[in-house]
Chains A and B, each alone.
Chain A
Amino acid sequence: QVQLVESGGGLVKPGGSLRLSCAASGFTFSDYYMSWIRQAPGKGLEWVSYISSSGSTIYYADSVKGRFTISRDNAKNSLYLQMNSLRAEDTAVYYCARPRGGQSWFDPWGQGTLVTVSS
């Protein structure tokens, strides 16, 4: 079955960096756009970034533009999010998700990985 498994979360100091990974299985990864979506503790969902199937097209939310970099390795069926210059407000559970319907909705989602930015 289609499965997405995130890893790489943890505690990091403000200004620090972290790299998240998402391992995909059960579908032809290289055929699909992929996305990162986050959820701050007790808050709603916030879209972070999209990457096209080839990696040639990338979009970011304004809140992370210039600090986060999305990438993928289709040979390894893996999605990544490099997060630099982290701030307290980046504290959240980060989900990878597969966009569908022309990148319109998301299904499925991974179980998420928690990133905590604190001194």
Chain B
Amino acid sequence: SYVLTQPPSVSVAPGKTARITCGGNNIGSKSVHWYQQKPGQAPVLVIYYDSDRPSGIPERFSGSNSGNTATLTISRVEAGDEADYYCQVWDSSSDHFVVFGGGTKLTVL
């Protein structure tokens, strides 16, 4: 089955840029979606179709996808951005259909 690989943790100082990667075999040929999950809360969609933002998500959140890596970029990081972030694809060739990455804990220093 298709596997998505994320770094377990990323740390960034406030006001700087955080980049969270999501690796997968030829992931650039798939659509990647990203979710933010704060402690004790349900996941929230922050990016869909690689780089589109749902309404209400700040422009500081952006996404890209090419080759074997998709990236979620958070500019001008704020303390409130500290959360777990998950990438996700829909893989019609897999029995699982929906594949999530293992998640990345973003720590704001």
Contacts and interface: CB of A to CB of B under 8 A. Distances in A.
Does chain A bind chain B? yes
A27 interface: no
Interface in A10-39: 35, 37
A104 B90 contact: yes
B1 to A, nearest CB: 9
Interface stretch (A67-75, A76-84, A107-115): A107-115
A103 B91 CA distance: 11
Interface stretch (B14-22, B40-48, B65-73): B40-48
A109 B71 CA distance: 23
B97 A112 contact: no
Interface in B20-51: 31, 33, 35, 41-45, 48-49
Contact of A111 (B33, B42, B48, B90): B42
Secondary structure call for the A interface = strand
Q: How large is the interface on B (under 10, 10 to 19, 20 to 34, 35 or more residues)?
A: 20 to 34
Interface residues of A, number: 24
Contacts of A47: 96-100
Contact of A105 (B48, B96, B99, B102): B48
Interface of A: 35, 37, 44-47, 50, 59, 61-62, 95, 100-112
Closest 6 pairs (CB-CB, A-B): A47-B98, A105-B33, A107-B45, A109-B42, A45-B100, A104-B90
